[in-house]
Amino acid sequence: MNKRNGKKINPKYIFVVGGVMSSVGKGVAAASVGNILQSRGYRVANIKCDMYVNIDAGTIRPAEHGEVFVGEDGIEADQDLGNYERFTGNDCVRDNYITTGQVYQEVIRRERNLEYGGEDVEVVPDIPNEIIRRIKLCQEKNNAEIMVIEFGGTVGEYQLLLFLEAARMMKAKDPQGVFFIMVSYLPTPKLLGEQKSKPTQFAIRTLNASGIAPDFILCRADRPVSSDIKRTISIVCSLPEERIISAPDIYSIYDVPVNFEKENLGEVILKSMGLKAKKKDLREWIRLSGKIRKITKTVKIGIIGKYFNFKSCRDTYISVIEAVNHAAWSENRKPEILWIDSEKYEKDRRSLHELDKLDGIIVPGGFGKRGTEGMILAADYARRRRIPYFGLCLGMQILTISFARHVLGLKDANSTEMDPKTKNPVICTMADQVDKLKKKQYGGSMRLGACPAKLAKDSLSHKAYGRAKISERHRHRYEFNNFYRDDLEKRGLRIAGINTDLDLVEIVEVKDHPWMVGVQFHPEFKSRPLDPHPLFLTFMGACLKNKGRRKN
């Protein structure tokens, strides 16, 4: 129990677990639950629990894990934290992210320090107890009235058991304070044309085997759930029908909170927790979701990446896509994103001409040599053809290399990441990274999280932000080499942002170009649907100008 405005609060805990299968939007559902409860006047915090033994997501291959979302404090987390931030506006930090690895590491650390007082340390209850301690710590630090805790994976997975056990133990201690939402999936097999609830029934029974009964079922499906199906599920899990919520596929993820409220989910959850709505204010979200639906005009953005999974890199660059969406919508445009595999330009330079058909291009973050030569060619093409270019982290380094090669004439300019022996390392290893790399200390060791920068008065970036001091999130090991700064500046590369403490270049801009900007940070993490990021907004403005120019 802790206090808010001098009053004692009994926090409530809502666990969100997946049934039937993954990738049906559990993260967006958990973020939306946070959103609607917040819109009812409650202070909410979200947590993501991932089952893997990794301490964080930072060491997992991008094409395998998807985006690594970076928090203000530098946590390298699961992409769902990005959904929480975008839907609730609350910044996420270390406390909002729990993995099996973190839990075991802490329990073993304490055991080595004799903190268990000579007792034997058991998987149960010591592991669930550590999970509970972390959940409660996050609640206390945020003074949250309601915690929404999402479990990664699906019921029935072995590695989920200890997390379910933690939730069950919390429920047993505080039956009025702990609730469960199951996000399930109802398929409609083509042959039958009829929606089936059996997989959901099995998932409920599997959850029951862990001593947990769901309080609400969110039924993800390609269509709304019929009242017959609601009735069947309600009988199987002994719940009133109002707690079985239809969650059909929708036009945009930002419709989800609005849709949930159409089913009265906020009211139903609060009522079952014995709480009353303090207000109801989803107006801005309703307006946004209505606006998105009506947009017909498009803007064509090419994203030049290398982490292809099927035909796109969607999962790896989810925050980039969302930041593009936010900026495009505010200009009443629907983005048409083209995924371009940079390696293609290495094999066939002529295909670079396809970039002329685009309104603008983005080169996003990435690691390692593969594909970078193609990106460097694309950056040069965009510079020569005056196509708006936005480089994010690696994309800024690519811009710099490309400029050094093609404008300064340093043919072998490169980053020491791509070619450790290059004679012209215009991008070099950060001083504090040399030793870490030698010792193979890869985990959580990059330059991470929020850092300040100062912007040059005459820059595009200063104009975009409307101020000189900014703070943005970072995740990198390599940096702009100040040795080349004067030469590059003389040839038309504007040094638009500097971290004055480290004398580190944070933003470069090509002067003789409508909009060619590279940033050493990741602005995409701070863009919100109702508050698009200023750099993405001005990039979008340049893309639309380019669109107009090409039509004339």
Nearer to ligand GLN, 69 or 367 (CB): 367
Separation CA 465–CA 534 (nearest Å): 6
479 is catalytic: no
Q: Is 66 helix (H, G, I), strand (E, B) or coil?
A: coil
Nearer to ligand GLN, 475 or 526 (CB): 475
Q: Any alpha helices (H) in 118-255, and if so which ranges?
A: 123-142, 161-173, 198-208, 227-236
524 is catalytic: yes
The amino acid occupying position 217 is I
DSSP secondary structure letters along 259-300: HHHHTTHHHHHHHHTT---S----HHHHHHHHHHHH---EEE
- Least distance CB 478 / ligand GLN (angstroms): 4
Nearer to ligand GLN, 40 or 475 (CB): 475
- Least distance CB 365 / ligand GLN (angstroms): 3
Q: Is 109 helix (H, G, I), strand (E, B) or coil?
A: helix
The amino acid occupying position 16 is V
- Least distance CB 300 / ligand GLN (angstroms): 24
CB 426 within 8 A of CB 480: yes
- Least distance CB 363 / ligand GLN (angstroms): 9
- Both ends of the chain: CA-CA distance in Å? 66
Nearer to ligand GLN, 477 or 533 (CB): 477
Check residue 164 and give left, alpha or beta (phi > 0: left; psi -120 to 50: alpha). Answer: alpha
The amino acid occupying position 186 is L
- Least distance CB 337 / ligand GLN (angstroms): 19
Nearer to ligand GLN, 72 or 331 (CB): 72
- Least distance CB 428 / ligand GLN (angstroms): 10
Give the pair of three-digit tokens for residue 147: 């915690």
Nearer to ligand GLN, 219 or 323 (CB): 323
> Of the listed 49, 138, 393, 543, which one is catalytic?
393
Separation CA 336–CA 310 (nearest Å): 18
Separation CA 418–CA 291 (nearest Å): 44
- Least distance CB 471 / ligand GLN (angstroms): 17
Nearer to ligand GLN, 19 or 62 (CB): 62
> Of the listed 92, 522, 533, 543, which one is catalytic?
522
The amino acid occupying position 497 is G
> Of the listed 474, 524, 533, 543, which one is catalytic?
524
CB 460 within 8 A of CB 538: yes
- Least distance CB 366 / ligand GLN (angstroms): 5
Q: Which residue has its beta carbon closest to ligand GLN?
A: 365
Nearer to ligand GLN, 25 or 62 (CB): 62
Nearer to ligand GLN, 42 or 478 (CB): 478
Measured between alpha carbons, how far is residue 448 from residues 105, 437, 443, 445, 520 in Å? 21, 15, 11, 8, 12
Pairing label, strands 298-305, 334-341: parallel
393 is catalytic: yes
Nearer to ligand GLN, 127 or 519 (CB): 519
Distant-in-sequence, close-in-space partners of 265: CB < 8 Å, separation ≥ 6: 33, 36, 216, 245
Nearest Cα to Cα of residue 241 among 264, 270, 211, 213: 264
- Other C-beta atoms closer than 10 Å to the C-beta of 211 total 13
Give the pair of three-digit tokens for residue 32: 């939306």
Contact positions vs ligand GLN (CB under 6 A): 365-367, 393-394, 417, 475-478
- Least distance CB 167 / ligand GLN (angstroms): 34
Q: Which residue has the tokens 């808010």?
A: 4
Separation CA 474–CA 97 (nearest Å): 18
- Least distance CB 522 / ligand GLN (angstroms): 7
Nearer to ligand GLN, 87 or 367 (CB): 367
β-sheet bridge partners, residue 517: 390, 509
User: Using CB atoms within 10 A of its CB, is residue 32 exposed (0-12), middle (13-18) or buried (19+)?
Assistant: buried
Separation CA 215–CA 238 (nearest Å): 9
Separation CA 30–CA 393 (nearest Å): 29
Q: Which residue has the tokens 């109702």?
A: 530
- Other C-beta atoms closer than 10 Å to the C-beta of 151 total 25
- Least distance CB 479 / ligand GLN (angstroms): 7
Q: How many CA atoms lie within 13 A of 413 on its CB side?
A: 23
Active-site positions read 393, 522, 524
